[in-house]
Amino acid sequence: MDIILDSNIYRGDIKLRSKEFDILLDYLKKTESSIVLPQIIFDEIKGLYLRLLTERNTEIIKNINNINLTLTDLSTHIEQPEINIEKEVESYLLFIQERLRISPLKIIPYNNDYLPIISNRAISRIKPAGEKGQGFRDTLIWLTMIDYCKKSLEKQLIFISINTDDFASPDKSSLHHALTEECDKAKIKINYFKSIKDFIENHSVKIDFITHDWIAENLDYQEVEYTVLDYLNSIKRRGLISWIYKETKVKPMGYNAVSFSPDHDDDLSVYEMSDNTMIINLTVGGYAELDFTVRVDDSWDGEYAYVDQSYNENVYITASLSLTLVDNKIEDIAMIDLTV
């Protein structure tokens, strides 16, 4: 069954590095399916990468300028990198097509005939248009999917998008009932998932011997701790910064995660790859110990001054892990995501 990924899925993993994309590609290979790319999503991906690259390039230029202004020896000044933004964007689009094996025939062009239909749906507040009449791009994607299903042999496809407000049912587990009714009338089916993880769990193979007890006996929880700590310390998570601010009422200058103590695991699913290895997706909960510094006002008698104060806090987090199983032995542990 062919798959359409909304642009918000690409945004979450711009270089498609996660194990989730490996499993997705494995599914496509097993089922002889393809990624379908509506032109509007293709253009959005292009815009996302362009903005990201431009922002990071601007930041590099600014930082190098600041360093050079600080250095007294002109011979040690750093040269600004020469990055051809336009060329890099085109290279990225080719990378996306090659990584996901998207053939030119699977890139669906705009259909100008949709314009009056989109306008009417927006005016009439017909899903996926929002209550305020917004949702031009969502409706365009929806109409593209309907037409694609009608012309396909299977009469159905998989659609993955984190946009649960416009596409999902109230419990966010399936397609909105109004859109389901529209599919029924057209005698097609659009299978909605809010993430690749949800899609994988729905299509995972249940291996009887892999249970929570088996995980407890075979998983190296010290390696889990190292994996989570590396992830925490490599990315200054906004959720953690917000949590620290909420607890201390002062914005931290940064943090250092020093320990992680898992106390339970949940959401176990297994996917069997075509090379006979297995991928286990597992959520592990526990407390992370954080050291962080805040700068506080230490002014007195009209003299303004600030001092740095160190804090230590425990915050409860859940880490989504991907375990690679070879010959019934866990060979690799990787982070998928983390929530506070």
Task: List the chain pLDDT tens, one digit each, 340 residues.
Answer: 899 999 999 998 999 988 899 999 999 988 888 999 999 999 999 999 999 999 999 999 999 999 999 988 889 999 988 899 999 999 999 999 999 999 999 999 999 999 999 888 888 888 888 766 567 899 999 999 999 999 988 899 999 999 999 899 999 889 999 999 999 999 999 999 999 989 988 888 777 888 888 998 999 999 999 999 888 888 666 677 777 777 777 777 778 888 998 888 877 888 878 777 888 888 999 998 988 887 776 666 666 666 777 888 888 889 899 999 998 899 999 988 888 7
Do 161 and 224 sit in the same domain of this protein?
A: no
Task: Among 153, 175, 201, give the residue marking a domain's end.
Answer: 201
Quick count: other Cβ atoms within 10 Å of Cβ 29?
12
Distance CA 293, CA 284 (A): 27
Residue 198 tokens, joined: 């949800």
Distance CA 68, CA 77 (A): 5
Residue 189 is classified by DSSP as E
pTM value is 0.75
- Where in the sequence is the domain holding 292, given as residue range(s)? 206-339
Domain count, the chain: 2
Residue 324: CA count within 13 A, CB half-sphere? 16
Which of 318, 307, 314, 309 lies closest to 244 in space, CA to CA?
314
Task: Among 141, 176, 201, give the residue marking a domain's end.
Answer: 201
Could you give the strand order of the β-sheet that contains 252-272, starting from the edge strand earlier in sequence?
Answer: 252-272, 278-297, 306-326, 329-339
Do 263 and 194 sit in the same domain of this protein?
A: no
